[in-house]
């Protein structure tokens, strides 16, 4: 609300509002667990195969991980650009390292596990919702 924007539902919407969040004094986006949130979830949300051999279910023999998929590379290129522009913050690999700045009201958006909501209700310094 402070930045005068609605919560984004797509990456395109995030890119449109992120500069306004930054101008309002927020770290626009943080998230926990890069490997899980931006690798596994990226593939499933975009209906892309994470690995060969039916995502590794048919066989582990000769199964390859598709981390060089052009869509996945594009996502990490965007993430790097957002970091360089100050639109994405990264504060460490421990679970709470990135969640903490959201709890403190310093980050506008946080991507994490729904399993964290109980703790967030106790520790967040502002009202929040999920999209």
Domain ranges for the chain, please list them.
11-123
Angle between helices 70-84 and 11-23 (to 10 degrees): 10
Task: Name the CATH topology of 11-123.
Answer: D-Maltodextrin-Binding Protein; domain 2 (3.40.190)
Q: How far apart are CA 40 and CA 49, in angstroms?
A: 10
**Per-residue pLDDT of the chain in tens (131 residues, 90 and over written 9):** 788 999 898 889 999 999 999 999 999 999 887 677 778 778 888 888 889 999 899 999 999 988 888 988 998 899 999 999 999 999 988 878 888 898 888 999 988 777 677 777 777 776 666 66
What per-residue confidence (pLDDT) applies to 26?
96
What per-residue confidence (pLDDT) applies to 129?
66
pTM: 0.80
Q: What are residue 30's DSSP bridge partners?
A: 110
Q: How far apart are CA 96 and CA 25, in angstroms?
A: 21
């Amino acid at each position: 609300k402070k930045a005068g924007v609605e919560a984004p539902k797509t990456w395109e919407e995030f890119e449109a509002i992120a500069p306004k969040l930054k101008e309002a004094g927020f770290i626009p986006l943080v998230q926990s667990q890069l490997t899980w949130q931006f690798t596994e979830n990226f593939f499933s949300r975009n209906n892309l195969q994470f690995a060969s051999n039916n995502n590794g279910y048919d066989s582990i023999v000769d199964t390859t991980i598709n981390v060089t998929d052009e869509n996945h590379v594009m996502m990490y290129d965007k993430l790097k650009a957002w970091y360089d522009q100050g639109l994405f913050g990264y504060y460490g690999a421990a679970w709470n390292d990135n969640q903490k700045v959201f709890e403190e009201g310093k980050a506008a958006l946080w991507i994490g596990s729904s399993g964290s909501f109980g703790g967030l209700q106790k520790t967040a310094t502002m009202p929040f919702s999920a999209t």
